[in-house]
Chains A and B, each alone.
Chain A
Amino acid sequence: MEEKVIEIKNISKVYKIENFKVNALNGINLNVTKGEYVAIMGPSGSGKSTLMNIIGCLDTPTKGTYTLDSQDISKLNDNRLAEIRNKKVGFVFQTFNLLSRYSAIDNIELPLIYSKGRLPKPRREMIMDVIISVGLKGREKHRPSQMSGGERQRVAIARALINSPSIILADEPTGNLDSRTGEEIMAIFEDLNLRGSTIFLVTHELDIARHTDRILYLRDGIITGEEKIKKPISAKDTLKNMPTLEDRISKLEENKNYEKDI
């Protein structure tokens, strides 16, 4: 039997804004098994963010149960939720959310600072392991302001990986990146998934969603459809065929010359 990482049973979320009640989620059922690569798609206002916050243990549902790694999260207090976030969830955000005054190493170290108990390996070693796995070796002393968008997102991914979480939650991870860099980031996720990580991706780009095994469509707080991708797009293959920025610039110039010639 496949091991369930996420088990969501009939959860709803109601926000009270002044005297209005807003139903952000209306009975969501969702299972994610270990090692799965799932995308959730939906327009703004569909409840994507709310679902993501609940899965990421930043919020709790109004009704229903949420089990992460066979632990019921629905009724935990703030402190317990913080511990779960620290140990079991790795966040990757659209805007990277790195601390600007901190070097890559210091940013990646943050979750370790808040970890209880002994670490399996010395800190430095753990940090270097994840730095290598996202391909950032040699850039570890740089601050976010000294890095490109792709590099910043790699730091964020490394930070998400440091505590070996049960699930990686990526919220529009390519939203702020050009398409080639975005594809490079997708290649990293692909690689992590191949090595056994469970990844939950939130996006509104179908091209990005098609890299996963399964797409869930969310609208008005309910899951309206589900699509199994038989042959997911391989980011690595796409990259091979994708012209680099330099290629495209030279091509543009060729075109210009061509136009001149005519």
Chain B
Amino acid sequence: MKRIFENLKVAFKSLNSNKLRAFLTMLGIIIGVGSVVAVISIGAGAEALITQNLQSMGTNVITISPGRAEPRGEGGPMRHLEDANTETIDEGELHLEDAIALQAKATLLNEVVPVLYGRNSTISYMSWSGQVSVTGTTQDFLTVQGYKMAEGNFITESDVSNLSNVAVIGNTVAEDYFGKINPVGEIIKINGKNFVISGLLQTIGTAGFGSDPDNSIYIPITTAQNKLYGTDTVDSIIAKLKNENQLDESTAEVKSILRIQHRIMPGENNDFSVSSPTQFLETASSVLQILSITLGGIAAISLLVGGIGIMNIMFVSVTERTREIGIRKSLGAKNRDILMQFLTESIILSLLGGLLGIGFAYLISWLVKTFSGLSPLITATPIILALSFSTAIGLIFGIFPAMRAARLNPIESLRYE
């Protein structure tokens, strides 16, 4: 114990007398540890954000898309990616009738909502105009997405059947075009056609993907298809499950109904696909993990380089202090004492570098948070990992210089100039 304390004292004294060199030596470790911890934390933060967003979309919702290869649940997310690349993609379309059939026949689904997704359209109100994403949908969209009305009413069933020119606007649109005026009842033009604003949505918050739901306008899907975009297809069908634990059963039911609806023969591939946020979550997480590991691995190489830097400086230090080693040996220091002295010094160098590196990681995280809105998640695991890794580096790269120091011949060392 006394020896450890003496060694620490000696190590700090020698680092203190060469502050700039010590700092430059540590820089490799600082950058290494800092970037490893930062990369892992940013990855963890991104994963948390995605999870949060997908959960807000609801885990009890499935999405049916046209013409995609069937993802296979059992294979896991990576399997899903491979399948997407290797299987032939069958052409296919979804129509309003598919949604009606599902609503009528499916026993495991609550609301079924067809959606014609965000087409950018020109809207104008009085003298202002601009581009906003317009989504065509039905009355149940509100329930399925979990959105809430701030003012007025959402699209109604009769709006859909009558092809009414009504629009429900998101909060950002309202702020941009109406400011403090209540927009309900006002008339706006979408692609030159008049629409009456029937309602205003509460702020939803960014969902992270695709279009911003607050900066969107929602109109009856029939109106969108026939009056604005001239199409009879829908982009996707969203359905809410009666029981979120019956994901597989519900998916199977949807498939069998749609196969009949699309007249697909047994043995033929589906011309649509069914996916759920849970599946997407798994895929996204695994992609992020691979990314984190790859980037972290690259960052770890700089740790290795930092370790080599420590070894280099320790060799220089041993040569420079040959005489000191001789003096210490003549006064009774054993080889072990000298070994421990230099080893302590290199471990302190790398441990201190590791600690500063964690500070550096916090700085990077703060910068990322400030400038991107993504808040990195710094957990104990990467910190402990980085610290033990940097200590190990000090030990591994310090041992050779320390051994050289310990083996020096006292007589020759005393003569060294």
Interface status of B240 (Cβ within 8 A of chain A): no
Name B16's closest neighbour in chain A (CB-CB): A101
1/0 per residue A100-115: CB within 8 Å of B? Answer: 0110000000110111
- Find chain A residues with CB under 8 A from B410 CB: 58
- Cβ–Cβ contact A114 & B331, under 8 A: yes
Bound together, the chains give a CA A164 to CA B337 distance in angstroms of 22
Interface status of A200 (Cβ within 8 A of chain B): no
- Cβ–Cβ contact B334 & A111, under 8 A: no
1/0 per residue A72-96: CB within 8 Å of B? Answer: 0000001100110111000101000
- Cβ–Cβ contact B331 & A78, under 8 A: no
- Cβ–Cβ contact B330 & A91, under 8 A: yes
- Cβ–Cβ contact B335 & A110, under 8 A: no
- Cβ–Cβ contact B330 & A115, under 8 A: no
- Measured as residues with beta carbon below 8 angstroms from the partner, the interface class of chain B is 20 to 34
Interface status of A59 (Cβ within 8 A of chain B): yes
Interface status of A53 (Cβ within 8 A of chain B): yes
Interface status of B68 (Cβ within 8 A of chain A): no
Bound together, the chains give a CA A113 to CA B331 distance in angstroms of 10
Interface status of A97 (Cβ within 8 A of chain B): yes
**A57 CB to nearest chain B CB (Å):** 9
- Find chain A residues with CB under 8 A from B323 CB: 97
- Find chain A residues with CB under 8 A from B327 CB: 97-99, 110
Interface status of B414 (Cβ within 8 A of chain A): yes
- Find chain A residues with CB under 8 A from B85 CB: none
Contact of B331 among A53, A59, A85 (CB under 8 A): A85
Name B323's closest neighbour in chain A (CB-CB): A97
Bound together, the chains give a CA A78 to CA B339 distance in angstroms of 14
Interface status of B291 (Cβ within 8 A of chain A): no
- Measured as residues with beta carbon below 8 angstroms from the partner, the interface class of chain A is 20 to 34
- Find chain A residues with CB under 8 A from B6 CB: 113
Bound together, the chains give a CA A261 to CA B365 distance in angstroms of 85
**A67 CB to nearest chain B CB (Å):** 19
- Cβ–Cβ contact B414 & A59, under 8 A: no
1/0 per residue B389-417: CB within 8 Å of A? Answer: 00000000000000000000011001000
Interface status of B324 (Cβ within 8 A of chain A): yes
Interface status of A42 (Cβ within 8 A of chain B): no
1/0 per residue B302-344: CB within 8 Å of A? Answer: 0000000000000000000001101111111111110000000
Contact of A114 among B324, B333, B414 (CB under 8 A): B333
Bound together, the chains give a CA A79 to CA B406 distance in angstroms of 12
- Cβ–Cβ contact A79 & B334, under 8 A: yes
- Cβ–Cβ contact A85 & B335, under 8 A: no
Bound together, the chains give a CA A97 to CA B331 distance in angstroms of 11
Question: Contact residues of B with A, CB < 8 Å?
Answer: 6, 13-14, 17, 323-324, 326-337, 410-411, 414
8 inter-chain pairs at a CB distance below 8 angstroms, sorted by A residue, are A58-B410, A58-B411, A59-B411, A79-B336, A86-B331, A97-B326, A97-B414, A113-B6
